[in-house]
Each structure stands twice: as structure tokens, then as C-alpha cells.
Amino acid sequence: MAEQMTKEEIALKYQKICDGIGVAIAKALDRHRRLGESIAVWQDGKVVIVSADQIPIPDQETTQKI
């Protein structure tokens, strides 16, 4: 039977997952921006299309992980 993880281990794994998701999103946004592709976002209860030149640039820390 597998050992149960401690709260600290769960928190560490959770943070790694969140970091990975953040990097994946930053990569996808960067790709869309470079290729001139728009993205769709949910804003104020409706879908909004954001053109490539309006896609925000991720912060420096996230960008360095790409």
C-alpha cells in the first residue's frame, strides 16, 4: 500500500503543478503573439477576442522558465 503524503508534500506538488500550468500558458500566449493569432478569453460574462498585438507579455519570472 502506498504511503500517504504529508501536507508539505502535497503543497509542494500543488505548487509544481501550478508552476507547470503557468509555463504552459505563457508558452501558448507567446506562440499566439509571435504567429499573429488572436485568442479568446472570458471577460465580464462573455467571450472576448484579443488580437495578437494586445496579448499581454508574461512576467519576467515566468518567461525565464520557457
CB 33 within 8 A of CB 52: yes
Residue 26: give the domain boundaries: 7-55
Give the pLDDT mean for 26-36: 94
Assigned C-alpha cell, 32 = 499566439
20 within a domain of the structure (yes/no): yes
Whether residue 23 lies inside any domain: the answer is: yes
pLDDT at 63 over 60: no
Q: Model confidence at 33, in pLDDT bands (50, 70, 90)?
A: very high
- In DSSP terms, 40 is beta-bridged to 49
Give a yes or no: residue 36 inside a domain: yes
Q: Is the predicted pLDDT of residue 43 greater than 70, yes or no?
A: yes
Residue percentage of the chain with pLDDT more than 90: 76
Whether the predicted pLDDT of 3 surpasses 70: yes
Distance CA 27, CA 10 (A): 26
Q: Tell me how many domains the chain contains.
A: 1
Residue 38 in domain? yes
- Tell me the pLDDT of the chain averaged across its residues: 89
Answer whether residue 61 is part of any domain.
no
Q: For residue 65, is it within any domain? A: no
